[in-house]
Amino acid sequence: MRDSVKRILHIVNLRRVESLQTEFFRRDYLAIFDLSVHTFRFQFLAMERNDVSADRVIAELIEMGFEYSSVMGAIEAVGPSINNAIEFMLNGSNGNSRTQSNGSDISTSNGHNSGKTAMSTPYAMCRTRQSSIMEHLPSSDGLKRRKTHGASGVSISGSETLKLVEEQKASLQYTDHDLGPASKLPITPAYMPEDQVIGLDWEQRVNNILRKDFGFSCLKSFQKEALEAWLAKQDCLVLAATGSGKSLCFQIPAILTGKVVVVISPLISLMHDQCLKLAKHGVSACFLGSGQSDGSVEQKAMNGMYQIIYVCPETILRLIGPLQRLAENRGIALFAIDEVHCVSKWGHDFRPAYRRLSVLRENFTASKLKFLKFDIPLMALTATATIHVREDIVKSLCMSEETKIVLTSFFRPNLRFSVNHSRTSSRSSYEKDFRELIDTYTGKRMVVEKENNAYSCGSENDSDNSSSSDADEMHLSDSEDPHDDYLDGNGAGASSVNANGSAASVEDQLSVEFLEDGLDTFPSVNDLDVSCGEFSGKSPGESRDVCGSFETLDPPTKPEEYLELQHAPLERGPTIIYVPTRKETLQLAKFLCSFGVKAAAYNAKLPRAHLRRVHMEFHQNVLQVVVATIAFGMGIDKSNVRRIIHYGWPQSLEAYYQEAGRAGRDGKLADCVLYANLSKIPTLLPSQRSAEQTKQAYKMLSDCYRYGMNTACCRAKTLVEYFGEDFSNGKCFLCDVCVVGPPKMEDLKVEAVTFIQILATQFRQIGYGTSHYDNAVDGEIQRGRLMEKPNFRMVVNKIREQSHKFAASDQLWWRGLARILEDKGYIKEGDGMIRVCIKFPEPTDLGFKLLQSGMEQPFYVYSEADMLLSMKNPKSYSTFSEWGKGWADPEIRRQRLQGKRQGKRQKRSSRKGWKKISSHHQNLRTVKGRLAAKLSKKH
Question: Residue 219 binds which one of Mg ion, ligand ATP, none, with CB within 5 to 8 A depending on kind?
Answer: ligand ATP
List the x/- string, 158-197, binding to ligand ATP by CB under 6 A: ----------------------------------------
Question: Residue 183 binds which one of ligand ATP, Mg ion, none, with CB within 5 to 8 A depending on kind?
Answer: none
**Residue 442: strand, helix, or coil:** helix
**Residue 477 DSSP class:** P
Partners of 417 in beta bridges: 672
Rule CB under 6 A: which of 817-876 touch ligand ATP? none
Binding ligand ATP by CB under 6 A: which of 220, 272, 590, 715? 220
What is each CA distance from 688 to 345, 544, 672, 705, 789, in whole angstroms?
A: 12, 44, 30, 22, 30
Residue number, 247 or 511, with CB nearest to Mg ion: 247
Range 75-98 burial, b when 16+ CB lie within 10 A, else e: beebebbbbbbbbbbbbbbeeeee
**Residue 242 touches ligand ATP, criterion: CB under 6 A:** yes
**Residue 216 touches ligand ATP, criterion: CB under 6 A:** yes
- Report how far residue 538's alpha carbon sits from residue 644's, in angstroms, rounded to the nearest whole number: 33
Instruction: Report angle CA 445, 446, 448 to the nearest 5 degrees.
Output: 145
Residue number, 646 or 665, with CB nearest to ligand ATP: 665
Helices (H), 364-403: 387-396
Rule CB under 5 A: which of 202-261 touch Mg ion? 246
Q: Find the shortest distance in angstroms from Cβ 642 to ligand ATP.
A: 15
* Cα end-to-end span (Å), the chain: 77
Helices (H), 416-522: 427-433, 435-442, 470-474, 506-509
Binding ligand ATP by CB under 6 A: which of 164, 179, 219, 285? 219
Of 898, 869, 896, the closest CA to residue 884 belongs to: 896
- Report how far residue 655's alpha carbon sits from residue 665's, in angstroms, rounded to the nearest whole number: 17
For residues 393 and 428, is the Cβ–Cβ distance under 8 A? no
Question: Residue 128 binds which one of Mg ion, ligand ATP, none, with CB within 5 to 8 A depending on kind?
Answer: none
Question: Residue 184 binds which one of ligand ATP, Mg ion, none, with CB within 5 to 8 A depending on kind?
Answer: none
Residue number, 114 or 552, with CB nearest to ligand ATP: 552
For residues 833 and 785, is the Cβ–Cβ distance under 8 A? no
List the x/- string, 186-205, binding to Mg ion by CB under 5 A: --------------------
Contact stretch for ligand ATP (CB under 6 A) within 92-100, 243-251, 352-360, 898-906: 243-251
Binding ligand ATP by CB under 6 A: which of 11, 78, 240, 393? 240
- Report how far residue 535's alpha carbon sits from residue 278's, in angstroms, rounded to the nearest whole number: 8
Question: Residue 549 binds which one of ligand ATP, Mg ion, none, with CB within 5 to 8 A depending on kind?
Answer: ligand ATP
**Residue 661 touches ligand ATP, criterion: CB under 6 A:** yes
Binding ligand ATP by CB under 6 A: which of 283, 383, 663, 732? 383
Q: Find the shortest distance in angstroms from Cβ 540 to ligand ATP.
A: 14
Question: In 10 A of CB 542, how many CB atoms?
Answer: 11
Tell me, letter by letter, the H, E, C secondary structure of 736-795.
HHHHHCCCCEEECHHHHHHHHHHHHHHHHHCCCCCCCHHHHCCHHHHHHHHHHCCCHHHH
Number of residues in contact with ligand ATP, rule: CB under 6 A?
21
List the x/- string, 538-557, binding to ligand ATP by CB under 6 A: ---------x-xx-------
Residue number, 247 or 329, with CB nearest to ligand ATP: 247
**Residue 635 touches Mg ion, criterion: CB under 5 A:** yes
Q: Find the shortest distance in angstroms from Cβ 870 to Mg ion.
A: 41
Q: Kind of pairing, strands 860-862 and 404-407?
A: unpaired
Q: Find the shortest distance in angstroms from Cβ 238 to ligand ATP.
A: 8
**Residue 639 touches ligand ATP, criterion: CB under 6 A:** yes
Binding ligand ATP by CB under 6 A: which of 81, 131, 168, 244? 244
Q: What is the CA radius of gyration of the chain?
A: 34
Partners of 645 in beta bridges: 577, 673
Q: Find the shortest distance in angstroms from Cβ 661 to ligand ATP.
A: 5
Closest CB to Mg ion belongs to which residue?
Answer: 635
Residue number, 266 or 816, with CB nearest to ligand ATP: 266
Residue number, 63 or 213, with CB nearest to ligand ATP: 213
Binding ligand ATP by CB under 6 A: which of 248, 530, 601, 697? 248
Of 344, 393, 346, the closest CA to residue 698 belongs to: 346
**Residue 665 touches ligand ATP, criterion: CB under 6 A:** yes
Residue number, 246 or 638, with CB nearest to Mg ion: 246
What is each CA distance from 745 to 738, 742, 801, 811, in whole angstroms?
A: 16, 8, 27, 21
Helix-helix angle 792-802:880-888, to 10 degrees: 110
- Name the site residues for Mg ion (rule: CB under 5 A): 246, 635
> Where do contacts with ligand ATP occur on this chain (CB under 6 A)?
216, 219-220, 223, 240, 242-248, 383, 547, 549-550, 635, 637, 639, 661, 665
